[in-house]
Amino acid sequence: MTTSTRPQSGGAAAPALLYGRIAFVVLAVILIADFMELLDATIVSVAAPAIAEELNAGESALQWMMAGYTLAAGAGLITGGRIGDQFGRRRVFLLGLAAFMLASAGCGLAPNSGVLIGMRIAQGLAAGLMIPQVFGIIRASFEPGVRAKAFGAYGAVLGVASVAGPLLGGLLVEADLFGLGWRAIFWVNVPIAIIGLIVGARYMPESRVPGNTRLDLPGAVLASAAVVLLLLPLMQGRDWGWPWWSFLILALSVPAVALFLVRERRLVARGGQPILDPALLRVRAFAGGLSASLLFFGALGSFFLLLSLYLQLGTGRSALDTGLVILPYAIGSIITSGIGVQFAHRALLVSGALVLAASQIALLLIVRDGAEPTYWALAAPLFVGGLGLGLTAPSLVNVVLAGVPAKDAGAAGGVLTTVGQVGNALGVAVLGVVFFTRLENLSADGATGLVAYGEAFTAILPWQVACYLAAAALMFLLPKRAGAAHT
């Protein structure tokens, strides 16, 4: 037998545990789905110039293609986890996978940038349903020995996806499979998802949290509204010409946050299950971790999109060449991510943020020279940046959670992950405005190509350095190492 049902101490039947070939098949399905989601978070950055050319997409459209996906995925992570707990993780996982497949097909068929942005947001929402179930399925359906290996395999998938995203994006755009061009980066998801749906429906067991798990839908709507009110004018303001009402929309994000916190505080008082317990904001490690995550991932979020634009439209590199330039960054992160996860120490987090800041300074000195940089001149600082990323990103949440009461660890972890996604989208919005405003001013002065894109790219690098340095300072508020959360 490949599954087993074991009695609990109270005599009730426990969820079926997976063994042998069935366990391997189920793990393969959920990890492949996770790989697709991680791939789609990064693959578009390399294809962005080709997309902009074919669909006549402007700067704000490119920003929304990146930020819309990560923002929607972040908004869906917490609510997606709660939906799976309540209605069944297998059911919600397969629903999310089917929705992700349909949204990917919609991206591949998109006739204009507006439709593509809408489908990217739909992809993100589907990912927000699908991805939280991965952890729940592994915890509920694998016996402890296999569970540890499954989480190890998940970590390996994170590393492989970081390598494969830019490289596969470049390969697919250059190969022009069936004349699809950049659309192939989305169509490749469809046959993989179909296989996952068939196998998952046949072999994946169902699991859910016993008792009632209520979804804080009003809280989720208020939180999402606050973020949209913040990001919408930042991304669209230049296209609108910064009218007075764009600043009004921006200002409305403040009362939206206030309403969200009031709603959550009242929900806690009634004994409900909030998205975020406001009391957590008084925990030094959690508040510091939120701020550090917002800055850290804000600096990281815009980097690959703007680097890709500089490499392709500035230096004239192809999509494949761009992927190869970015490859050392991914290799560096793989090398150090194991160290970061194994030791999960505050000193490593701080060191990683400082290494990233140093890599951006080196890149700034290379690009501002004005000459077209060689492959190795770019690869060296990018490799160093990857080393810094591997030291920080994989263990940041775990170190933060070491300072959070054990009863709040699950909710805090979900909020931290969501804030990382919001930071990513915010970075695309804010630093994208800096980049494109500088590019527009340079173009008005007659600068083009390498000069214009080089100066626009160097305009964002000091801001990224500042974000990494500020994040490093905030990390001193965190516990020294990951471990059991406080009770």
| Per-residue pLDDT tens digits for 258-285 | 999 999 899 888 888 787 788 888 888 8
Query: Rounded to the nearest 5°, which phi and psi values hold at 7?
Result: -70, 145
The answer to whether residues 349 and 248 belong to one domain is: no
CA torsion, ordered 427, 432, 438, 443, to nearest 10 deg: 170
| pLDDT value, residue 211 | 62
pLDDT at 373 over 50: yes
Beta bridge partners of residue 147, listed in sequence order: none
Encode 321-390 in three state secondary structure: HHHHHHHHHHHHHHHHHHHHHHHCEHHHHHHHHHHHHHHHHHHHHHHCCCCCCCHHHHHHHHHHHHHHHH
Among 229, 246, 272, the domain-final residue is: 272
In a domain, residue 41? The reply is yes
Report d(CA 162, CA 154) in Å as an integer. Answer: 13
Side chain identity at residue 94, one-letter code: L
pLDDT for the residue 258: 93
Is residue 158 located within the same domain as residue 262? no
According to DSSP, residue 6 is labeled: -
Mean pLDDT, range 457-461, rounded to an integer: 95
pLDDT of res. 210: 66
- In this prediction, residue 139 has a pLDDT band, given cuts at 50, 70 and 90, of confident
pLDDT at res. 205:
80
Based on the domain organization, do 196 and 95 belong to the same domain? yes
Residues 281-297 have pLDDT tens digits of: 888 888 998 999 999 98
Q: Is the pLDDT of residue 395 over 70?
A: yes
Give the model's confidence band at 467: pLDDT under 50 very low, under 70 low, under 90 confident, else very high: very high
What local confidence, expressed as pLDDT, does residue 7 receive?
Answer: 36
Instruction: Give bridge partners of residue 486 from the DSSP assignment.
Output: 405
Check residue 209 and give its pLDDT. 67
Taking 70 as the threshold, does the pLDDT of residue 154 lie above it? Answer: no
| pLDDT of amino acid 4 | 41
Do 306 and 386 share a structural domain?
yes
Q: Are residues 178 and 235 in the same domain?
A: no
Six-digit token string for 386: 């990857």
Same domain, 203 and 291: no
Domain extent at residue 242: 217-272
Please state, in angstroms and rounded to a whole number, the distance separating the CA atoms of residues 356 and 475: 14
Burial class (CB in 10 A: 0-12, 13-18, 19+), 252: middle
Q: Is residue 192 part of a domain?
A: yes
Whether the predicted pLDDT of 158 surpasses 70: no
Tokens standing for residue 53: 């050319």
Give the whole-angstrom CA distance, residue 436 versus residue 362: 22
Query: Whole-model pTM above 0.95?
Result: no
Give a yes or no: residue 337 inside a domain: yes
Q: CA gyration radius for the chain?
A: 22
Q: List, for residues 399-422, the tens digit of each pLDDT value.
A: 887 777 766 666 677 677 778 878
Q: Are residues 361 and 337 in the same domain?
A: yes
Looking at per-residue pLDDT, the higher value among 395 and 4 belongs to: 395
pLDDT per residue as tens digits for the range 16-34: 555 567 777 888 888 888 8
CA neighbor of 420 nearest in space, from 299, 338, 262: 299
Residue 40 — pLDDT band, cuts 50, 70, 90? confident
Kindly state whether residue 431 falls inside one of the protein's structural domains.
Answer: yes
Of 15-24, 77-86, 186-195, 206-215, which has the strongest mean pLDDT? 186-195
CATH number for 130: 1.20.1250.20
Report if residue 142 sits inside a domain.
yes
Separation between Cα atoms, residue 3 and residue 20, nearest integer Å: 8
pLDDT of residue 140: 72
Give the end-to-end CA distance of the chain in Å, rounded to a whole number: 40
pLDDT in tens, 469-483: 999 999 999 888 765
Number of domains in the chain: 3
Last residue of a domain, one of 166, 184, 210: 210
- pLDDT higher than threshold 80 for residue 79: no
Q: Is residue 22 part of a domain?
A: yes
Evaluate whether residue 242 is within a structural domain: yes
Residue 151 binned pLDDT confidence (cut-offs 50, 70, 90): low
Residues 316 and 254 in one domain: no
**Domain identity same for 41 and 175:** yes
pLDDT at 114 over 50: yes
**Residues 6+ away with beta carbon under 8 Å from 169:** 42, 43, 44, 45, 46, 47, 185, 319, 323
Give me the residues paired with residue 3 across strands: 18
The contacts of residue 13 (CB under 8 Å, 6+ apart) are 5, 6, 7
Of the pLDDT bands very low, low, confident and very high (cuts 50, 70, 90), residue 376 is very high
Q: Which of 370, 366, 340 is nearest to 352 (CA)?
A: 340
Instruction: Report the pLDDT averaged over residues 422-426.
Output: 83
Judged against a pLDDT cut of 60, whether residue 11 lies above it is answered with: no
Are 264 and 183 in a shared domain?
no
Same domain, 244 and 323: no
pLDDT in tens, 92-103: 999 999 999 999
Confidence of residue 232 (pLDDT cuts 50, 70, 90): confident
Picking from 210, 227, 251, the residue at the C-terminal end of a domain is: 210
50 and 131 share a domain? yes
In a domain, 320, yes or no: yes
Quote the mean pLDDT of the chain: 83
